[in-house]
Amino acid sequence: MTRYAAIDVGTNTIRLLVADAQDTATYRPIFQEQVITRLGERLQKTGVLEAGAVERTIVVLQRFTQTAKKLGAEKVVAVATSAAREAKNQREFLDKVRREAGIELQVASEEVEATLTALGVSHALGPAWSTMLIIDIGGGSTEFIFVEQSKFAGHLSLPIGVVKITEAFLKGDPPPVDELEAASSSLRETLSRVPASLDIPPRGALVGTAGTPTTLAAIDLGLATYDAERVTGHRLSRGRIEQLLEHLCSLPLAERRQIVGLEPARADVIIAGILLTREIMMLFGFDELTVSDGGLREGILLHHLAQRNPRS
């Protein structure tokens, strides 16, 4: 049994998983944590990772690395996504992480991110979920990932995410109707390119992973303390998502931060996430979304295990 740590450095959130693994397909979580650092703050406007966002992220990476080592992790594998991919100062950021946090942060391509996410979701939901369209709603991008007969079968990445949508459209507190309509209209225009771009038409279930779907599940379940096992497999109808959207849009930020199941630091971007989720469900004609807590972070770990133990 060997202990490893995987870190997912997203545009909005950093997620840590420390786990014991005996082979390439199974592991036992020892410790999990996530912190919102908003690495991609104002990236859409400036084109660079801003100093404050970088510092917040490095502080968390330092702590996560220290935690992993204290827990006895043999290896820490860290992967960054959309914000690091897009930033003009990517190299400076990676060098700073290496110097100050002591880890080699890898920047995943869109295809690698999609492949690892599919791996993590498939592991979390189990073999019964062999054919699905996975939506990974991030802070800076949204991945559409198709899995057929338990095999990765195609993906598309669009540069829309909850941080970008919020910064571009949702400035009111709470956002007024005209801002919500402008955001929805822009999303529909961008999403209209998806069916033609995806090689394989979506079939099977619609599965959502990352912060928006898991938060919606936590709110729907009334989880005062987040429970990954209860979140994974939880189903949300389109009607229920519409209800949650209507309710959250009626509340100012201070009141949204008090909602059970909603991380206070995510309260400002959750409306953008629900808008995007609704538009995706409408576009593809899905009446239900199944949630997976497992995603990119878990895929990072599973991929590393497969590389370390190729014959297992």
- pLDDT tens digits, one per residue of 170-186: 999 999 999 999 999 99
What DSSP line would sit under 254-292, residue for residue?
A: HHHTTSTTS-GGGTTTHHHHHHHHHHHHHHHT-SEEEEE
* Number of domain units in the chain: 2
3-state SS of 114-180? HHHHHHHHHHHHCCCCCCEEEEEECCCCEEEEEEECCEEEEEEEECCCHHHHHHHHCCCCCCCHHHH
Please write the tens of the pLDDT for every residue from 6-52.
999 998 899 999 999 876 678 899 999 999 999 988 888 899 999 99
One domain, residues 163 and 14: no
* CATH number, domain containing residue 284: 3.30.420.150
Say if residue 168 is in the same domain as residue 92: no
Backbone angles phi, psi at 284, to 5 degrees: -90, -5
> Within a domain: residue 176?
yes
Question: Which pLDDT score, from 0 to 100, does residue 24 have?
Answer: 67
Q: The domain that contains 35 carries what CATH number?
A: 3.30.420.40
In this structure, the answer to whether residues 218 and 281 fall within a common structural domain is: yes
Asked if residue 222 and residue 77 are part of one domain, the reply reads no
Counting beta carbons within 10 angstroms of the beta carbon of residue 225, is it exposed (0 to 12), middle (13 to 18) or buried (19 or more)? exposed
Residues 149 and 91 in one domain: no
Instruction: List the domain range (segments joined by +) for residue 51.
Output: 2-110
Contacts of 3 (CB under 8 A, 6+ apart): 18, 19, 20, 21, 30, 71, 72, 73, 74
Q: Do 284 and 189 share a structural domain?
A: yes
Q: Evaluate whether residue 34 is within a structural domain.
A: yes
* 52 and 158 belong to one structural domain: no
Please check whether residue 283 lies inside any domain of the structure. yes
pLDDT digits (tens, 9 = 90+) for 82-135: 899 999 999 999 999 999 999 999 999 988 998 999 999 998 998 888 889 999
pLDDT on residue 195: 59
Tens of pLDDT, residues 200-231 = 445 678 999 988 999 999 999 999 999 999 99
Say if residue 35 is in the same domain as residue 151. Answer: no
Q: What is the mean pLDDT of the chain?
A: 90
Instruction: At 211, list the tokens.
Output: 């912060």
